[in-house]
Amino acid sequence: MTATARYIHHPPALWSLYGRAIIPKGTTSGKAPEAIPALTAELLGVRTNGERLHRYRKLCGFANHSWVPVTWPHLLAFPLHMRLLTDEGFPLPLLGLVHLRNRIVQQRPIKEGECLDILCRLANSNKTDKGLEFDIVTEALSAGQVVWTEHSTTLFRQPSNSAASAKSADRKPELARYSHKLHLEAPSDTGRRYGKLSGDLNPIHLYALTARAFGFRRAIAHGMWSKASCIALLERQTQWPGGAIDVQTAFKKPLFLPGNALLNWREDKHAWPFQLLNAKGDTPHLTGHVEFLD
């Protein structure tokens, strides 16, 4: 295992990491390694407040509270994610990796201004019919105690000759129908605004021209903006319990910009299943559920 990349108060500079991101890797032919190395990075003593938090709340639709949005530590950790994915020991090209799923477990609300230590590692690599999956695991600690954990599952695509895999890909699962609905608007500059805030300046999110270079007809919204915007809308409902929560999402079809989507959910006592659908309500952009742990 390589030594942990450690940063105090300030994360690594993203511009230098962007330069690493365009350096070709040995797997550009499409062949992935058997496993991902266990790279680690940490950021010690980072504050959870400031103008950037205010702009994040506004962009994603979160109300102002004394605690930060449950998705906010993801932005604090993003430079560490980039540090790991551009490390010379990481064998895959950064461009082309696909964010499949995201799970956040928050043990308690994190207060605005609270000081956190953030630890990141690569783990759980697994060969599937679609390619090589692995997790970026992030923990946020306050006074030495883990208060927030995230698993971001990422895919490096590889072609499969499996007939069963092809048949499974063609099968469209039956769409759930929930009683509550709200509309979500994604303006054309959403990808650029979120990219500037988060540091995730993947060309597929910025402009139609840059997105077309990667096979998309228009720019697409970041999956984590979509997840955050869903949670922001759900939090505004009168029955929202809050507290310790487990929020799991699976990313499906792209949300093209500009675009309109439909948040559809059900309110149960201990869990709220939800989905973000296209404007017609027949195709999911993401599916997920919130489990209340208190």
pLDDT digits (tens, 9 = 90+) for 48-79: 999 999 999 999 999 999 999 999 999 999 99
Show the tokens assigned to 119. 């630890």
| Mean pLDDT value across residues 195-212 | 95
- Give me the pLDDT at residue 87, please: 93
Show the tokens assigned to 130. 């679609």
Average per-residue pLDDT for the chain:
91
The yes-or-no verdict on residue 169 having pLDDT over 60 is: no
The yes-or-no verdict on residue 248 having pLDDT over 70 is: yes
The yes-or-no verdict on residue 166 having pLDDT over 60 is: no
pLDDT digits (tens, 9 = 90+) for 263-294: 999 999 899 999 999 999 999 999 999 999 98
- Give me the pLDDT at residue 96, please: 79
How many of the other CB atoms lie within 10 Å of CB of 140? 26
- CA angle at 294 for the pair 223 and 108, rounded to the nearest 5°: 60
pLDDT digits (tens, 9 = 90+) for 3-24: 899 999 999 999 888 887 777 6
Rounded Cα–Cα distance for residues 4 and 173 (Å) = 42
Is the domain covering 1-162 a CATH 3.10.129.10 domain? yes
The yes-or-no verdict on residue 158 having pLDDT over 90 is: no
- CA angle at 220 for the pair 61 and 240, rounded to the nearest 5°: 30
Common-topology check for domains 1-162 and 172-294: yes
| Mean pLDDT value across residues 249-268 | 97
- Give me the pLDDT at residue 33, please: 76
The yes-or-no verdict on residue 159 having pLDDT over 90 is: no
Buried b (16+ CB within 10 A) or exposed e, 202-225: bbbbbbeebbeeeebebbbbbbbb
Model pTM score: 0.93
- Give me the pLDDT at residue 78, please: 97
Kindly tell me the sign of the dihedral angle through the C-alpha atoms of 190, 186, 253, 128: positive
What does 175-211 look like in DSSP terms, one character per residue?
PP--SEEEEEEE-TTHHHHHHHHH----GGGT-HHHH
The domain segmentation of the chain, as residue ranges, is: 1-162, 172-294
Rounded Cα–Cα distance for residues 283 and 175 (Å) = 8
Show the tokens assigned to 285. 């952009």
- Give Cβ neighbours of residue 61 (< 8 Å, ≥ 6 apart): 229, 232, 233
pLDDT confidence bin for 168, thresholds 50/70/90: low
pLDDT digits (tens, 9 = 90+) for 86-113: 999 999 988 879 999 999 999 999 999 9
Q: For domain 172-294, give the CATH number.
A: 3.10.129.10
